[in-house]
């Protein structure tokens, strides 16, 4: 069986006249709104805020331990705390929150080995939850290997604060050494005003770039970080104004008034961060053809994925060593990379297909050697298996059967789409459609 050449005209999969800027912005806003609703991001921000409330002391304890491990880090710790005091929290609660965090972190040294392990586990759990949330936004269906994830988390918790403190201290040293004198007062003021913006945008860009199990371009991460930083500053100013003008929390909660304000601030902070992630994830579709489907029904979604399975049956039959170039499915999906990505994510999660990147010249040709290389390709391609739907990479993927199509039926696919978010019905109440229980090969008549 011949597999279509992976080098066949990529223009056919993604060619369309450019849209006006206003139309593109409106399309992007609709896609972000729809995705935020589908992923229930406000609820996700609330749960992350509560988890942050539990994990912030363990995380701060790790930072405290790292920055006090050597007297040489004293200046870095002071610079870091001063930055957090003036830029991270609303002014009304910043001193209270930082003071309590310092007290809690100092007492963490008295914990036993089991208590320390529990503290570390809480901090790592928070990072795992953040990574999972970002993976849902990017549609990544395969997390990194556990060893890589643990290494990344440890670097973020240890080297991250040191590098941030060194950067902030160095920033202040530059201002002290080069921007002295009354004539440079305005320049020095602008220099320090830019510090929180540069730090926030740079940190969030790295977060969007490194934490998701997906390939995020620098420009996409930067755009998302810029939006998050703007929202962050606006929300911080608004909450600070509210707390300063209205003393409701102080009257009701008294000495504990910082706690509800702090929890509310964490929820707003996560909303800003997730909004930036939504923008970064959706920018990959900016120049792609096809309009996003704003209200795709379960029937339309089932037609997409079932049509993909039928096309694979017609092209591959029961061949387990072959792979279908996704660009051949572009007409079926109206050349919409978002629809292709959603179909890929669902089919991979349910175990119908395995996704591979295109290997170019490794697959192709009609001779025996090329056939052997084609049979070997899935094994080699697993290292570069696609982790998420990407506007440019989705059409370069190849999809192969994850199991024998003679034994797989559309039933699991149907139930996953129609019963999403609902309790599973009794076996006797299954939808009575005979074709749902027929093998894919028989269903596609291939």
For residue range 107-121, what is the model confidence (pLDDT) as tens digits? 766 666 777 777 778
Q: Are 279 and 229 in contact (CB under 8 A)?
A: no
157 part of a folded domain: yes
27 part of a folded domain: yes
Residue 193 has pLDDT above 70, yes or no: yes
86 and 145 belong to one structural domain: yes
Burial class (CB in 10 A: 0-12, 13-18, 19+), 335: buried
404 part of a folded domain: yes
69 and 198 belong to one structural domain: yes
274 and 372 belong to one structural domain: no
411 part of a folded domain: yes
Two tokens, residue 7 = 């080098």
189 and 68 belong to one structural domain: yes
334: left (phi over 0), alpha (psi -120 to 50) or beta: left
For 236, what's the count of Cα atoms within 13 Å in the CB-facing half-sphere?
Answer: 20
When pLDDT is cut at 50, 70 and 90, the band that residue 96 belongs to is confident
pLDDT mean over 372-392: 44
Q: Identify the domain boundary among 234, 261, 285.
A: 285
CA distances from 294 to 51, 200, 291, 308 (A): 32, 32, 9, 21
pLDDT mean over 57-74: 68
| Segment of 74-83, 210-219, 350-359 carrying the highest mean pLDDT | 210-219
pLDDT digit string, tens, across residues 307-335? 999 999 888 887 777 888 888 888 888 87
Q: Identify the domain boundary among 285, 308, 337.
A: 285
- pLDDT of 228: 93
Mean pLDDT, all residues of the chain: 73
**How many CB atoms lie under 10 A from the CB of residue 336?**
21
**How many CB atoms lie under 10 A from the CB of residue 418?**
13
When pLDDT is cut at 50, 70 and 90, the band that residue 379 belongs to is very low
Q: Are 28 and 70 in contact (CB under 8 A)?
A: no
When pLDDT is cut at 50, 70 and 90, the band that residue 387 belongs to is very low
Nearest residue to 403 (alpha-carbon basis) of 356, 445, 351? 351
125 and 238 belong to one structural domain: yes
- pLDDT of 174: 66
| Segment of 140-144, 254-258, 271-275, 356-360 carrying the highest mean pLDDT | 271-275
220 and 338 belong to one structural domain: no
| Segment of 14-18, 222-226, 358-362, 378-382 carrying the highest mean pLDDT | 222-226
- Cα–Cα distance, 373 to 32 (Å, whole number): 42
Residues comprising the chain, all counted: 446
Q: Are 290 and 336 in contact (CB under 8 A)?
A: yes
Nearest residue to 266 (alpha-carbon basis) of 47, 41, 37, 35? 47
When pLDDT is cut at 50, 70 and 90, the band that residue 208 belongs to is very high
Two tokens, residue 98 = 């930082």
- pLDDT of 414: 85
Helices 218-245 and 185-210: crossing angle in degrees, nearest 10, is 120
Beta bridge partners of 355: 399
Q: Which residue would you say has higher pLDDT here, 40 or 23?
A: 40
269 and 237 belong to one structural domain: yes
231 and 337 belong to one structural domain: no
Nearest residue to 286 (alpha-carbon basis) of 6, 12, 25? 25
Strands 397-401 and 353-357: antiparallel
Long-range contacts of 22-26 (CB under 8 A, 24+ apart): 24/286
- pLDDT of 227: 94
Residue 230 has pLDDT above 60, yes or no: yes
pTM metric for this prediction: 0.65
Q: Are 44 and 274 in contact (CB under 8 A)?
A: yes
pLDDT digit string, tens, across residues 273-301? 999 999 998 887 776 655 444 446 777 88
pLDDT mean over 408-420: 81
229 and 310 belong to one structural domain: no
Burial class (CB in 10 A: 0-12, 13-18, 19+), 28: middle
- pLDDT of 376: 45
Residue 257, classed as helix, strand or coil, is coil
When pLDDT is cut at 50, 70 and 90, the band that residue 364 belongs to is very low
Quickly list DSSP for 350-378.
Answer: TTSEEEEE--GGGS--SSHHHHHHHHHHH
248 and 336 belong to one structural domain: no
List the strands of the sheet with 353-357, edge to edge. 324-325, 397-401, 353-357
266 part of a folded domain: yes
15 part of a folded domain: no
- pLDDT of 70: 62
- In sign, the C-alpha dihedral spanning 166, 171, 172, 176 is positive
pLDDT mean over 63-73: 66
Q: Are 314 and 329 in contact (CB under 8 A)?
A: no
Q: Identify the domain boundary among 231, 252, 285.
A: 285
When pLDDT is cut at 50, 70 and 90, the band that residue 423 belongs to is very low
7 part of a folded domain: no
Nearest residue to 309 (alpha-carbon basis) of 220, 442, 126, 434? 442
Number of domains the chain is built from: 2
Q: Range of 416's domain?
A: 296-444
- Cα–Cα distance, 179 to 157 (Å, whole number): 33
- pLDDT of 123: 79
Two tokens, residue 151 = 């290494």
Q: Are 279 and 32 in contact (CB under 8 A)?
A: yes
Two tokens, residue 134 = 């970002």
2 part of a folded domain: no
165 and 220 belong to one structural domain: yes
Q: Are 409 and 438 in contact (CB under 8 A)?
A: yes
- Cα–Cα distance, 387 to 345 (Å, whole number): 9
Beta bridge partners of 325: 398
163 and 190 belong to one structural domain: yes
């Amino acid at each position: 069986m011949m597999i279509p050449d992976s080098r066949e005209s990529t223009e056919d999969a993604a060619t369309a006249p450019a849209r006006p800027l206003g139309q593109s912005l409106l399309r992007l806003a609709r896609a972000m709104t729809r995705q935020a609703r589908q992923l229930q991001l406000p609820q996700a921000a609330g749960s992350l805020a509560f988890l942050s409330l539990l994990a912030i002391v363990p995380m701060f304890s790790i930072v405290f331990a790292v920055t006090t491990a050597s007297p040489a880090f004293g200046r870095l710790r002071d610079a870091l705390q001063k930055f957090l005091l003036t830029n991270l929290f609303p002014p009304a609660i910043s001193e209270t929150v930082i003071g309590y965090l310092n007290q809690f972190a100092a007492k963490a040294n008295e914990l036993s080995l089991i208590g320390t392990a529990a503290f570390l586990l809480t901090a790592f759990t928070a990072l795992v939850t953040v990574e999972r949330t970002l993976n849902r936004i990017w549609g990544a269906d395969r997390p990194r290997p556990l060893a890589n994830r643990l290494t990344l988390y440890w670097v973020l918790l240890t080297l991250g604060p040191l590098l941030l403190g060194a950067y902030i201290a160095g920033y202040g040293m530059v201002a002290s050494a080069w921007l002295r004198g009354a004539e440079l007062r305005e320049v020095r003021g602008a220099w320090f005003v830019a510090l929180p913006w540069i730090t926030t945008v740079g940190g969030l860009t790295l977060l969007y770039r490194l934490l998701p199990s997906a390939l995020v371009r620098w420009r996409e991460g930067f755009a998302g970080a810029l939006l998050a930083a703007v929202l962050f500053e606006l929300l911080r100013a608004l909450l600070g104004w509210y707390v300063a003008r209205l003393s409701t929390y102080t009257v009701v909660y008294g000495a504990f008034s910082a706690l509800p304000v702090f929890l509310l601030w964490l929820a707003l902070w996560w909303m800003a961060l997730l909004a930036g992630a939504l923008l970064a994830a959706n920018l990959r579709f900016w120049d792609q053809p096809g309009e996003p489907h704003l209200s795709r029904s379960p029937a339309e979604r089932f037609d997409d994925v079932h049509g993909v399975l039928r096309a694979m049956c017609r092209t591959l039959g029961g061949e387990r060593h072959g792979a279908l170039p996704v660009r051949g499915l572009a007409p079926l999906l109206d050349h919409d990379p978002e629809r292709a990505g959603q179909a890929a994510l669902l089919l991979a999660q349910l175990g119908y297909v395995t996704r591979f990147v295109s290997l170019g010249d490794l697959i192709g040709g009609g001779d025996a050697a090329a056939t052997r290389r084609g049979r070997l390709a899935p094994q080699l391609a697993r290292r570069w298996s696609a982790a998420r739907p990407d506007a440019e990479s989705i059409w370069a993927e190849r999809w192969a059967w994850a199991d024998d199509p003679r034994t797989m039926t559309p039933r699991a696919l149907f139930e996953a789409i129609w019963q999403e978010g609902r309790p599973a019905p009794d076996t006797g109440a299954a939808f009575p459609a005979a074709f749902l229980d027929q093998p894919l090969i028989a269903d596609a008549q291939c």
